[in-house]
Amino acid sequence: MSGNTIGKVFQLTTFGESHSPAIGGIIEGCPAGLFLDYNFVRKELDRRKPGYFGSTPRKETDEFEFLSGIENGSTTGAPIKFIIKNLEYKPSDYQDISGVFRPSHADYTYFLKYGKTEAGGGRASGRETVARVVGGAVAKLLLQKPGIEIRGDIETIGGEPYDPVKTAGLVQVALNSGDTLGGTVTCRISGVPAGLGEPVFDKLQADLAKAMLSIGSAKAFEYGIGFEAASMKGSAYNDQMTVKDGKIIFLTNHDGGIQGGISNGQEIYFRVGFKPVPSVKLPQSSVNQEGEQVEIRISGRHDTCHVPRLVVVVEAMAALVLADHLLRNA
């Protein structure tokens, strides 16, 4: 299985499965001398943990361990290897549906490609994102020095604007009925210097899009004002420029801080759309590995809505892309 690495200079390679003993990663290209704040890494992992209403009852401590590349609390410049042990992995949760392709999961395509499926989805499980959060936390620490800040927020859940009270009601209805919800996450990145990104195939927005769409349930990505731009006239859309106090400034930011694939110094912003959690408890029509039509009911420990847990994952992936392009520009 290839495709487990993101980045060209600052690289993260992840390994492990949802129901294996551990998940982990290797970070390469991180400069020496970066103080690795373990408390910050732990807080980032805590943001991904379940615990809100409607989240999975699976309780993982997400205790991480760095095995190399760190000395006296700082990076050495060597590859940084880390692991997070899975303490509550239970392949037995999937015995009742063994050999059946779960609708809108990766079971069918994995079976076609690899000739087998794995309990809980293996590498396709949302559990895999825990390694991304650790890698993203290290990237965020690297981005702190030049003053680059990344902030993700829940925009919508179940098609409705996010509101803690109203959203809890939506999740409750879905939970009671055995159904699930998706939503959208916005992300804003400030302090990005002009000049990050490479023309043609390594455009900054293209790498951000790939990073976001590599998240398992991501179905849509748009940066700047996105699809709204398609209905505008050029005279209304264009980010016109002027000079103020001897500096060039933009009057608008419809381009989302990126022009020609290169950052222009303005705030970068984008949004990501996530499909509903595919593990619904309602009866569904499916097919087993023998080609027989069957009815499937999915039990086990799953989120009713995973969007709150994905905010930090979106930030982590953005940080990995920004750190990589920052070092390419060094």
| Structure letter (DSSP) for residue 305 | B
pLDDT value for 92: 59
The CATH number that applies at residue 225 is: 3.60.150.10
Tell me, what amino acid is at 147? G
pLDDT at 120 over 70: no
pLDDT at 91 over 70: no
pLDDT at 126 over 90: no
Gap between the terminal Cα atoms of the chain = 32
Rounded mean pLDDT of 150-172?
A: 95
Instruction: Report how many domains make up the chain.
Output: 1
Q: Which domain holds residue 74?
A: 5-328
- Report the C-alpha gap between 141 and 143 in whole angstroms: 5
Rounded mean pLDDT of 10-22?
A: 90
Distance from chain centroid for Cα 229: 25
| Structure letter (DSSP) for residue 127 | G
pLDDT value for 115: 87
Higher pLDDT, 148 or 118: 148
- Report the C-alpha gap between 321 and 196 in whole angstroms: 10
pLDDT digits (tens, 9 = 90+) for 40-61: 999 999 999 877 666 666 677 8
Mean pLDDT, the chain, rounded, equals 92
pLDDT at 89 over 80: no
Rounded mean pLDDT of 169-175?
A: 93
- Report the C-alpha gap between 292 and 303 in whole angstroms: 28
- Which string of DSSP letters, residue by residue, matches 8-77? SSSEEEEEE-TTSSEEEEEEESPPTT-B--HHHHHHHHHHHS--STTS-S------EEEEESEETTEE-S
